[in-house]
């Protein structure tokens, strides 16, 4: 734990400080619930009202204000680099306003998408004691079966069914279709991609629970954990989303690697049984939804789809180096961000996105270079890659912590969120994608921050090092 964080604990009573940590953890947990449910409000209660796109920012902002007022900040490299990164983006945006006459209001919206959620990385870890992490896991495990049931119903329903409506109010969204009749699931989200990322995160939490001894699990019910595993596998197999399949598979791969790293025979046997059960779950999916499973298999095996996937991965990973033309200023940091484009058009300044404008890539990393310029944009992409490496290293450190301090959820979570953090749609859909990814990365950091805290099922005590302080 950072010594300056401990110094802050000395300035007030331990009980008061713990209450502050719990309150902040509650605010961030509320923000997580809003993040994964706000799409339901947008598409089924208030369709056509884009203002609800940012509703999750309210609890996040309240959490930020509370954390800063209480001095609950993880001071260290993550904080300093986040400030440095934000200053670079702000400086580049000001240059664009001056030299390419870029719209200032558009810049503010774009800056929101780039930097508003970054503070989660250094504000969540200090409040996520083991007790609060356990509460967070319990809440998410309870959410899995209802969410997967909803996603499964969406997959079985026609594309034009009300349950597959989008936030725009239309009932036939191209984004939801695998073919003319089969829909891709979106759960409570407005779009398929955030739901796919959520599937991976939920699977990682389930995998982490399987890696725990029964006494240390959030719920000591093997039947409940098995039901969650079945729900995730069935929902993923019938979702029509290759991203969902990929990130869920990554979570299980992370779990498998965790068992090999720990060299625990009992753990290997227990998790091996889970791996063996996956084909059974998939067969069950085929029995109840054969057309949906056939559709997702076709998306992986058909030659044209394989070629498209290869090109997609190539463009998302290295396309930023070879696709954009060199530009020092860029086309404007809001380019390719729907909210920013809407503001610009509303202000009557749509020159950057008219049909004569240069091509804006579909892929986040290429788009960042096009929008920010070759120098700053490339730096942002490399910063994402570097952060991925740090998250993976931190995850393995959290796994390898001695004794009861080891947190087996870390590696599955890292394997799940790193693909999105590296090459996924983090900026274009930042209000939903970014907080999911940053939240999970922050949880991994919290395991390292509270590595000296002894495990007790509930309630959890203060850490030894804080008690001495």
Scanning 331-429, the segments in alpha helix (DSSP H) are: 338-346, 364-372, 374-399, 410-423
Residues 6+ apart with CB under 8 A from 303: none
pLDDT recorded at residue 102:
87
Give φ, ψ of 148 to 5 degrees. Answer: -65, -35
Weakest mean pLDDT among 44-48, 114-118, 125-129, 308-312: 44-48
Whether pLDDT at 441 is above 90: yes
Residue 379 token pair: 């730096």
Which one-letter DSSP state was computed for residue 328? S
Sign of CA dihedral 441, 444, 446, 449: negative
Strand partners for 426: none
pTM of structure = 0.90
Mean of per-residue pLDDT scores for the chain = 86
Token pair 């029509």: residue: 240
pLDDT recorded at residue 301:
86
- Are 438 and 387 spatial neighbours (Cβ–Cβ below 8 Å)? no
Average pLDDT over residues 172-187: 72
Token pair 């930097």: residue: 115
- Are 125 and 23 spatial neighbours (Cβ–Cβ below 8 Å)? no
Q: Over the stretch 302-337, which tens digit does the pLDDT of each residue have?
A: 888 888 889 989 999 999 999 998 999 998 998 888
Q: Over the stretch 123-145, which tens digit does the pLDDT of each residue have?
A: 999 999 989 999 999 999 999 99
User: Among 215, 30, 59, which Cα is nearest to 132's?
Assistant: 30
The DSSP element (H or E) to which 225 belongs, if any, is: helix 222-237
Q: Over the stretch 246-273, which tens digit does the pLDDT of each residue have?
A: 999 999 999 999 998 887 777 788 788 8
Whether pLDDT at 454 is above 90: no
Strand partners for 290: none
The confidence band for 453, taking pLDDT boundaries of 50, 70 and 90, is low
Whether pLDDT at 405 is above 70: yes
Between 187 and 220, the higher pLDDT residue: 187
Residue 224 three-state SS:
helix
User: Among 323, 327, 339, 342, which Cα is nearest to 372's?
Assistant: 327
How many whole angstroms separate alpha carbon 102 and alpha carbon 381?
Answer: 22
Residue 447 token pair: 């395991």
Average pLDDT over residues 30-42: 93
What is the percent of the chain with per-residue pLDDT over 90, rounded to a whole number?
54
Q: Over the stretch 345-395, which tens digit does the pLDDT of each residue have?
A: 766 665 555 444 567 888 999 999 999 999 999 999 999 999 999 999 999
CA–CA distances in Å: residue 415 to residues 201, 380, 406:
9, 21, 17
Which one-letter DSSP state was computed for residue 291? H
Whether pLDDT at 457 is above 50: no
pLDDT recorded at residue 348:
65
């Amino acid at each position: 734990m950072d010594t300056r964080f401990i110094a802050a604990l000395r300035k007030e009573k331990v009980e008061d400080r713990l209450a502050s940590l719990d309150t902040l953890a509650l605010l961030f947990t509320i923000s997580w619930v809003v993040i994964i449910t706000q799409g339901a409000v947008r598409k089924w209660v208030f369709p056509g009202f884009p203002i609800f796109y940012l509703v999750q920012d309210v609890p996040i902002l309240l959490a930020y204000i509370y954390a800063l007022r209480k001095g609950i900040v993880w001071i260290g490299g993550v904080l300093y680099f986040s400030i440095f990164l934000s200053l670079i983006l702000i400086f580049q945006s000001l240059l664009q306003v001056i030299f390419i006459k870029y719209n200032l209001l558009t810049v503010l919206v774009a800056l929101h998408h780039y930097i508003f959620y970054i503070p989660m990385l250094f504000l969540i870890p200090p409040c996520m004691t083991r007790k609060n992490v356990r509460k967070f896991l319990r809440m998410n495990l309870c959410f899995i079966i209802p969410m997967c049931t909803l996603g499964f119903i969406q997959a079985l329903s026609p594309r034009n069914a009300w349950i597959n409506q989008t936030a725009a109010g239309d009932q036939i969204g191209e984004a939801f279709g695998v073919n003319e009749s089969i829909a891709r699931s979106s759960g409570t989200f407005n779009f398929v991609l955030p739901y796919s990322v959520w599937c991976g995160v939920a699977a990682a939490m389930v995998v982490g629970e399987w890696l725990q001894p029964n006494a240390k699990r959030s719920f000591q019910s093997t039947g409940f954990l098995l039901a969650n595993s079945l729900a995730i596998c069935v929902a993923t197999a019938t979702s029509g989303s290759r991203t969902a399949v990929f990130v869920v598979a990554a979570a299980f791969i992370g779990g498998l690697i965790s068992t090999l790293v720990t060299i625990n025979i009992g753990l290997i046997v227990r998790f091996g049984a889970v791996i063996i059960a996956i084909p059974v779950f998939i067969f069950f999916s085929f029995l109840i939804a054969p057309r949906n499973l056939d559709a997702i298999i076709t998306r992986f095996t058909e030659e044209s789809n394989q070629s498209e996937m290869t090109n997609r991965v190539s463009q998302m990973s290295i396309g930023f180096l070879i696709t954009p033309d060199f530009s020092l200023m860029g086309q404007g940091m809001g380019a390719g961000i729907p909210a920013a484009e809407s503001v610009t058009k509303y202000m009557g300044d749509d020159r950057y996105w008219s049909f004569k404008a240069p091509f804006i890539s579909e892929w986040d990393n290429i788009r960042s270079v096009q929008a920010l310029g070759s120098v700053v944009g490339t730096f942002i992409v490399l910063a994402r890659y570097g952060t991925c490496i740090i998250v993976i290293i931190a995850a393995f450190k959290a796994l390898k912590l001695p004794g009861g301090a080891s947190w087996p959820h870390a590696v599955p979570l890292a394997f799940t969120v790193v693909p999105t953090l590296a090459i996924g749609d983090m900026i274009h859909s930042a209000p939903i994608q970014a907080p999911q990814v940053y939240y999970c990365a922050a949880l991994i950091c919290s395991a390292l921050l509270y590595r000296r805290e002894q495990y007790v099922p509930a309630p959890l005590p203060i850490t030894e090092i804080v008690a001495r302080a």
